[in-house]
Amino acid sequence: MSVTVQFLGAARTVTGSKYLLTGEKGKIFVDFGMFRGEENLTQKNYEEFDFNPAEVQYVILTHAHIDHSGLIPRLVNKGFRGKILCTKPTLDLCRIMFLDAAHVESIEIEWRNRKRQRAGKALLQPVYNAQDAAFCMQYFEAVEYNKLKDLKNGFKVRFDDAGHILGSSIVELFTKIDNKEKKLVFSGDLGNEMQDIIRDPEKLESADYLFIESTYGDRLHKGRKETLKEFESAIMNANKDKGNIIIPAFAVERTQEIISELSQMYKKSKLDGFSVYVDSPLAIAATEIFQANSRYFNDKTRLEVEKGINPFSFPSLVYCKRMEDSRALNDLKSNAIIVSASGMCEAGRIKHHLKHNLWREECAIIFTGYQAIGTTGRAIVEGVKAVKIFGEEIAVRAKIFTLGGFSGHADQKGLLKWLSFFKTKKMQVFVVHGEEKGALAFADVIRQRKHYTVTVPELGQKVKL
């Protein structure tokens, strides 16, 4: 009896997370994410599956981020009829994120097909549409953290809080290999400690096989406190009477963390003269889901909510729900803080705000999250002189701030700390979910410190456990 794992995404890259586990009695996936960013990866979203979706019994979903969940509607569309297991916040978030992804996809496919038509190539079908996005939700089933569930196919599963975004999970899978009970642990995306709203990642003590993320495997973040200071000083030193501050932020988690921080700054009178706008339909919908799931918050914030304090509301904060509210922001020349998505500036309303503010030296852009290779955000952070937005060349003249400490991911120190809680002496470690350089470097660090067997799998590689 053996189990084979195939790395169909997030192997030597951070995107497209999906791992196919094949046991004697069944096939399950851990995550089923979409590839984002580089063209040679995103085209994989359109490729035929080289397995039969109808044979897959479960998707064990670590969290709602599209690069972990985003191809589920396509999987269902192609015949999957099993169950998708995840926590309740993940389920709620997926519902809105899939619809958003379908919308982004419809814009993307139009652009791709125009290009392909000019090149005389066959047109692409969208990965999925809004109907597929809604249809797949009936196969979701919410599970509680820390409860063992028997999948009745040779696997048992338990979810633990990964502290990355609301509802995010570390996944423990139990199965028999050569008649011995073995435990596989998928770290999922591991969070940073001391976040405003969510809990710290749970500590685990044992595993036979560990699949650990390495997004920041070769880097360290600045501390949370230091980052908050930088954030405050970027805002307070901004030329507020002449320019705006634009904050690209991931719609889920980062936006809510930023709002919560801004609300605390407001209370300390540090936002005087500013109006704050949240301009992203997805971020607004996600904030509502956060409010409905406050029992998953960390103790401090949960107790505040129970006392009637809303961390996502203060007098100078405006949620731009209607299109015209969003468009009106284009006319604001100063005194505005605009929090908008997507976080890597690839899609969504942030593109409009960059178009109107990036070329103005009196404005500031504050990056608060990871910028993947190939994205507009990455180019700006790396100091290019101009970027293309809606086909137009926009000069980069605004002040650029990059605040690493807001990251939703543990840095190298955080990953090693989490790893240090394992008491298992012998463990086979697979370093996944990191760009190649970072993953290889992190694997070396683990080898130097622990006597574990460490592998950095290639995309598509199959390993028999």
Q: Which residues bind Zn ion (CB under 5 A)?
A: 65, 189
Residue 351's φ and ψ, nearest 5 degrees, are: -60, -40
b/e per residue 198-211 (b: at least 16 CB within 10 A)? bbbbbebeebbbbb
The amino acid at residue 62 is: T
Which CB contacts under 8 angstroms, 24+ apart, belong to 220-226? 220/411, 220/412, 220/413, 221/192, 221/404, 221/405, 221/407, 221/411, 221/414, 222/403, 222/404, 222/405, 223/405, 224/192, 224/193, 224/194, 224/195, 224/405, 226/405
Our CB check for Zn ion shows the closer of 298 and 334 to be 298
Please provide the DSSP assignment of 229-274 as one string. HHHHHHHHTS-TTT--EEEE--TTTHHHHHHHHHHHHHHTT-STT-
Nearer to Zn ion, 26 or 377 (CB): 377
Q: Residue 335 CB, nearest distance to Zn ion (Å)?
A: 33
Cβ–Cβ contacts within 10 Å for residue 453, how many? 13
User: Which CB atom, from 189 or from 346, has the smaller least distance to Zn ion?
Assistant: 189
Gap between the Cα atoms of 199 and 161, Å rounded = 8
CB of 38 to Zn ion, least distance (A): 15
Smallest distance, Zn ion to C-beta of residue 343, A = 11
Query: At its nearest, how many Å lie between Zn ion and the CB of residue 10?
Result: 7
- Which CB, 192 or 263, lies closer to Zn ion? 192
Nearer CB in complex with Zn ion: 65/351: 65
CB of 326 to Zn ion, least distance (A): 26
The number of angstroms, rounded, from the C-alpha of 144 to the middle of its chain's C-alpha atoms is 21
- As measured in angstroms, the least distance from the Cβ of 37 to Zn ion is 12
Nearer to Zn ion, 189 or 411 (CB): 189
